[in-house]
Structure 1
Amino acid sequence: MRYHLGNRNFLKSLLAAAITIALASFRAFYLVRGAWSPHAQQKSPRYKGIVSRQLLETTPDDNANANTTLTSRQLRKGITPNNAQDTYTNSSSDSNDNEREYTAVARETLTINTFTNFQPPSDASFGLNTLDNGLFLADGITARIVAISGHKVPYHTDGGTFSTTPFHARPDGATIVPDPRPSNPGGYIYVSNSEVPHHNGGVGALTFTAQGQILDYRRVLTGSTMNCNGGKTWFGAWISCEEDFDEENGNCWQVDPTGVRVPPAQPITLGSDGGVFEAFAYDIRNPSKPRFYITEDTSWGPLRRFTPDAPDFNKPWEVLLGPGQTEYLLLNPADGTFFWTTDKNVAGQNARAFYPNSEGIDVSGNMLFFVSKVRHTVFELDLDAATYVQKSTLGGLFEGQPDILRNLLDDNNGDNTLLLFTEDGGDRAGIHARDSDGNFYVLCESNLFQPETTGIAITPDGTRIYFAYQNDGILYELRRNDNQSFRVAALNLKTHPAEMTDAERRKRHRRYS
């Protein structure tokens, strides 16, 4: 059957109109969905699901007439008018310090998720009755914004000075180490990964005084790729792991948080054959034979163990850089035992079958814990007996698993009573905790930001907790109003949802380029 469409010019015009409409629709979809280039970190990022924000450092008097104060009720409902400005106060622990403000300018219509049925958990010891800087907080806790991705970090000085380098994008795994420099007695350094692809990632370091005042921010590793998690060493180094899904050729970097050493970062021997690395842990109960471990977030990535040939603890910064033997984990589910092999291919097949996509890892005494997100399982390896057990994480990492908590809290953390952890997904992303009996607590939650919290770390005295909302690039500090210790510990066992395949994750990461 034929249809008469008139002359050829009419057909060309119709085709051109269709193409124009299609391009306009694609552009509209692209702007709503959001895209972000790591090559323009100082520009406002756009992320799927939240508004694009341009964050400006101002004084309290700047733009005074433009600010729109949002009520608690508006924030609970996720309501912000077009072009409204949310003012976040960055307060010093010293009441005499000047207050500075970050002003968040909403440039588009907000599409923030809301708490449709928000209620503080009835079984929590704390109620979320306080709203501060965009967070719902347990009673007795105060929050401040420390840094925002793409913007210079304000120092706590009378001159109103800022860092030379903007705070890094997509903050991920982090830790706190004591500042070893005599010029900053009692100070500490918050070390944070930047999970950005195509050699635009790295590590940033924030230096604080003992009172929590910001002295310095600098990049201590640049040019790396998808720095995801890692782990700290006993001598003060941060091991930053590259989760390179595109090239599958990531390294693990030994980073000096002070940035003083030359060079400040070096790739370690463990993982030098390349991979999609996630987290790091160590066992130095036997100083003559220390063991170091990394996980790999692929379906075929075996857990790796490195034993240095001739470790010299008088030169700790060299222990992970020299020669040694790398072995790979083999699980034997038939009798609940495990052993190590130098055959990477065999171990990869074993990982695919029994513990694919390993993420968080931690060591407590003779017990090694690691998580397979695909299997929704936490594995507990007895390093001395070479036996293991596995338990489901479908109800949450520590749901119904108080024995894990007792091992970690009672045996390794002295008088700490709460174990902190973060969870991805949903409208209640924040900082949660469980005690040694498995009881659940909530320190803070938010519905204003995308649902992945990262970089949880605790100061040596336990009085401050730091964490970030990764996609929004906002780093928070939590404190108790009475300035006492939280009496908490953190565990490097974070896991992500496993809905995506490896190929889908590669596609997602390429979207950030």
Structure 2
Amino acid sequence: MKTSDLNRRKLLKFGIMSLGAFVGNILLPSPVKAAALSLSLVARGELLPPDHNGVRLPAGFTSRIVAHSGQNLFGYTWHAAPDGGATFTSPEGGWVYVSNSELENQAGGVGALRFNARGELVDAYSILSQTNLNCAGGQTPWQTWLSCEETDNGQVWECDPFGHKPAQVRSSLGLFKHEAVAVDTRDKRLYLTEDQSNGCFYRYIARSFDIAGNPNLDDGILEVAEVIEGSNGAVRWHALADPSATTMPTRRQVPARTAFDGGEGIWYHQGIVYFTTKGDDRVWAYDVQQQRLSIFYDAGLYHSPVLTGVDNITGNTAGELLVAEDGGNMQIVVLSGGNVLPLLQVVGHERSEIAGPALSPDGSCLYFSSQRGKTGKSEDGVTFEITGPF
């Protein structure tokens, strides 16, 4: 049986239809579509030959390396295996880029790079240490970083990107092979992915909120998604009886749950939660109001897909998605308006993966890491900054 036939049968099992090979911005509100047309990154042109840092970029963009694993920066040794990341606006101007360290044996954690308003690197420090396989995570609207441990009993740690407050475990978010988190900024619900071949898609609903209206991450209900067969993607949510997984893994507690093949990055934008699954090279889109899931991108529907090895995901204010490749062609690829085109490519890092893509708060810079650099070893990670007409 052809791969395309297998894919179609999988879609039909749940009544989920991919709108062509790629649904583009069809799920986005019309104002976002208009913004995407005027600000589209796919209009930046073809990639030029590699620059002095080995990065292929469109005309007008430049790269610099801001950190190497093992490098001493302001007294902090930049961590090995840099993975998921995000940026935060500094109160005094400038911004902070945080980056997970995907090391095991209590050697993981999160490091931070602080830039001033001129974009100059002025500080580096740790905001979490002695944890395991901190893979991806997610940024919150209340300006914290949720760092996820990708282990069987992995936890979510809430971190202060500015390093003033100690990190705290958020046990109500469950114990499982956490990958990434996204926050619905309107309803203040959290959505989580699980990096297992039979992993699940989770939702957290807080029971209480602080005076600013932010959800209590220690008092809530963790749910797992079921895509109802024959419903054209309708999702039913089931509360987990034991999020702490003392009786059995969370992904097995609800027989009706739907399995996803290797959940990876996740991103929320204007009522849609996007997430990637590496086992089938797909990007999914969950409409939080309609509670309906569809396939946004499926590499299996292309003869020669531009985007493979889907992993971390982020987006810009225009609603375009930037998807990092774990393997593939070591690219960050833009999905926008029906287009699937590379924004950049790192050359000579074939044994690595692109991780932690994040735009600066003002949209002028893009940060990401090559987790294992040119050698394929975790101690040789490289963290980049891209500037240009974003």
Question: Which runs of structure 2 are paired with 1:3-22 in the superposition (5 Å)?
Answer: none
- Select 1:465's aligned residue among 326, 348, 366: 366
In the alignment, which of 447, 467, 475 is matched to residue 383 of structure 2?
475
**Aligned: 1:151 with 2:71:** yes
Determine if contact 2:210/2:216 at 8 Å carries over to the other structure.
no
**CA contact 2:284–2:293 (8 Å) conserved in 1:** yes
Match of 1:299 in 2: 197
Deviation at 1:375, TM superposition (A): 3.7
Cα separation, 2, equivalents of 1:140 and 1:172: 27
Displacement, 1:437?
3.6
The residue correspondences of 1:382-401 to structure 2 (distance < 5 A) are 382-390=287-295, 393-395=298-300
SS at match of 1:371: strand
Shift of 1:174: 0.2
Distance 2:150 2:336 in 1: 31
Structure 1: how far apart are the matches of 2:202 and 2:330? 31
Q: Distance in 2 between matches of 1:385 and 1:126?
A: 37
Determine if the alignment matches structure 1 residue 168 to structure 2 residue 69.
no
1:341 partnered with 2:238:
yes
Cα separation, 2, equivalents of 1:142 and 1:445: 13
Q: Which has the larger radius of gyration?
A: 1
TM-score w.r.t. the length of structure 1 is 0.58
Match of 2:311 in 1: none
Question: Residue 453 in 1 paired to residue 354 in 2?
Answer: yes
2-side partners of 1:433 and 1:240: how far apart? 25
Q: 1:257 to 1:239 in 2, by over 3 A?
A: same
Q: Answer yes or no: is the 8 Å Cα contact 2:101–2:110 preserved in 1.
A: yes
* Unaligned ranges ≥5, structure 2: 1-42, 241-249, 308-313, 374-380
State the AA in 2 paired with 1:296: E
Seen in structure 2, the aligned counterparts of structure 1 residues 126 and 253 have a Cα distance that, compared at 3 Å, is same
1:147 Cα offset (Å): 0.7
Contact 2:331–2:342 (CA<8 Å) still a contact in 1? no
Aligned to 1:249: 153
RMSD (Å), alpha carbons: 2.8
Task: Find the counterpart in structure 1 of residue 111 from structure 2.
Answer: 204
- Offset from partner CA, 1:100-128 (integer Å, 9 cap, x none): xxxxxxxxxxxxxxxxxxxxxxx981341
Partner Cα distance (2:221, 2:168) in 1? 19
Note the C-alpha offset of 1:303. Answer: 1.9
**Alignment check: 8 A CA contact 2:228 2:235 kept:** yes
Return the letter of the residue paired with 1:271. Answer: L
Q: Is the 8 A contact 1:203 1:219 kept in 2?
A: yes
How is 1:478-489 mapped onto 2 (pairs within 5 angstroms)?
478-480=386-388, 485-486=389-390
Letter in 1 for 2:385: E
More strand by share: 2
List aligned pairs for 1:173-252, cutoff 5 A. Answer: 173-180=84-91, 184=92, 186-244=93-151, 248-252=152-156
TM value normalised by structure 2: 0.75
Deviation track 1:66-118 (CA, whole Å, cap 9, x = no partner) reads xxxxxxxxxxxxxxxxxxxxxxxxxxxxxxxxxxxxxxxxxxxxxxxxxxxxx
Matched letter for residue 280 of structure 1: V
Matching residue within 255, 274, 279 for 1:369: 274
* Residue in structure 1 matching 2:336, options 435, 442, 445: 435
Q: Shift in Å at residue 285 of structure 1?
A: 1.8
Matched with 1:309 is 207
1:81-160 alignment, distance < 5 Å:
125-129=45-49, 131-153=51-73
Looking at structure 2, the residues matched to 374 and 393 of structure 1 have their Cα atoms a distance apart, in angstroms, of: 11
Question: 2:161, 2:148 → 1: CA distance?
Answer: 15
Aligned residues of 2:200 and 2:251 also touching (Cα < 8 A): no
Higher RCO by CA contacts (8 Å cutoff, separation 6 or greater)? 2
In the alignment, residue 139 of structure 1 is paired with which amino acid?
A: A
How many positions carry a matched residue from both structures?
324
Deviation at 1:226, TM superposition (A): 0.2
Q: Residues 57-68 of structure 1: matches in 2 within 5 Å?
A: none
Query: Following the alignment from structure 2 to structure 1, what is the Cα–Cα distance between the partners of residues 54 and 297?
Result: 33
Show the counterpart of 1:327: 223
CA contact (8 A) 1:329 1:347 kept: no
Q: CA deviation at 1:348?
A: 5.2
Write the letter of the residue equivalent to 1:172.
D
- CA offset digits 1:367-405 (Å, max 9, x no partner): 2222332244333222222232235522599x699xxxx
For residues 479 and 460 of structure 1, what CA distance do their matches in structure 2 show? 13
